[in-house]
């Protein structure tokens, strides 16, 4: 399957059709080089419905939904500044640090089964990685998103507003944290491991109750 339009063409038609909606283009530096449309969360459902209902696209199938964790990114930039030292101007080189706040991202791969074309990829991003991690569920548009969004919720912590059954799907109820986050720290007690072995056994031993020595049966 291939897309009959470029992302630039889809972006132009989408923004013309949906008043007040602006999407960004995202280029993928990986080998597959599949670019994407970055959709503002507040317009997620409107854009999804347009992509499905547009006659030239008819994207009626979401084949894959996955999460991406983008932690805070610190970059350094060298700049030249002029300072007055002992009455004389001098040029110094300084290093400035810039911080791009982290966020979580959900990526949707969309196809048209009817027109046999795709994929078109869209990406939705949360405001941050802690308090504001809510995105709209696209399950009302593509029913196949339901279980995959649950997986993203379970492993990354994205909360999907409007999801019909948002609960863990791989980890058990009461499990803390989100295993696919890049700063996730794996526990070392392995209480869930019934038969620990090798390095797992060594970690588990640290949490075993102390061994109580047996008392002697009587005088020798």
- The DSSP bridge partners found for residue 65 are 108
How far is Cα 206 from Cα 187, in angstroms, rounded to an integer?
12
**Is residue 215 domain-resident?**
no
Q: List, for the chain, all residue ranges whose pLDDT scores fall below the cut of 50.
A: none
**Is residue 216 domain-resident?**
no
> What was the pLDDT predicted at 45?
98
How far is Cα 191 from Cα 208, in angstroms, rounded to an integer?
10
63: domain CATH number is: 3.30.460.80
Tally of domains in the chain = 1
> What was the pLDDT predicted at 77?
84
The DSSP element (H or E) to which 52 belongs, if any, is helix 44-53
> What was the pLDDT predicted at 75?
85
**Is residue 60 domain-resident?**
yes
Note the residue count of the chain.
Answer: 220
The token pair that represents 114 in the structure block: 């009817």
**Is residue 183 domain-resident?**
yes
> What was the pLDDT predicted at 213?
59
> What was the pLDDT predicted at 208?
75
How far is Cα 113 from Cα 90, in angstroms, rounded to an integer?
66
- What is the span of the domain harbouring residue 12? 7-205
**Is residue 213 domain-resident?**
no
Three-state secondary structure readout of 158-191 = CEEECCCCCCCCCCCCCCCCCCCCCCCCCCCCCC
């Amino acid at each position: 399957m291939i897309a009959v339009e470029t992302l630039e063409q889809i972006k132009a038609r989408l923004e013309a059709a949906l008043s007040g909606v602006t999407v960004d283009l995202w280029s993928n530096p990986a080998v597959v080089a599949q670019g994407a449309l970055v959709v503002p969360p507040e317009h997620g459902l409107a854009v999804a419905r347009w992509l499905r209902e547009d006659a030239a696209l008819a994207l009626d199938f979401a084949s894959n939904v996955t999460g991406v964790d983008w932690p805070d990114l610190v970059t350094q930039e060298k700049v030249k500044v002029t300072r007055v030292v002992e009455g004389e101007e001098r040029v110094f080189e300084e290093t400035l640090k810039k911080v791009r706040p982290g966020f979580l991202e959900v990526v949707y791969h969309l196809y048209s089964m009817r027109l046999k074309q795709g994929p078109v990829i869209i990406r939705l991003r949360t405001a941050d990685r802690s308090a504001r991690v809510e995105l709209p569920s696209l399950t009302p548009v593509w029913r196949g998103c339901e279980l995959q969004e649950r997986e993203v919720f379970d492993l990354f912590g994205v909360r999907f507003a409007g999801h019909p059954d948002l609960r863990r799907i791989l980890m058990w109820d009461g499990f803390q944290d989100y295993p696919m986050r890049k700063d996730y720290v794996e526990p070392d007690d392995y209480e869930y491991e019934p038969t620990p072995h090798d390095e797992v056994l060594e970690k588990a031993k640290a949490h075993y109750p102390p061994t109580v020595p047996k008392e002697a049966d009587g005088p020798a």
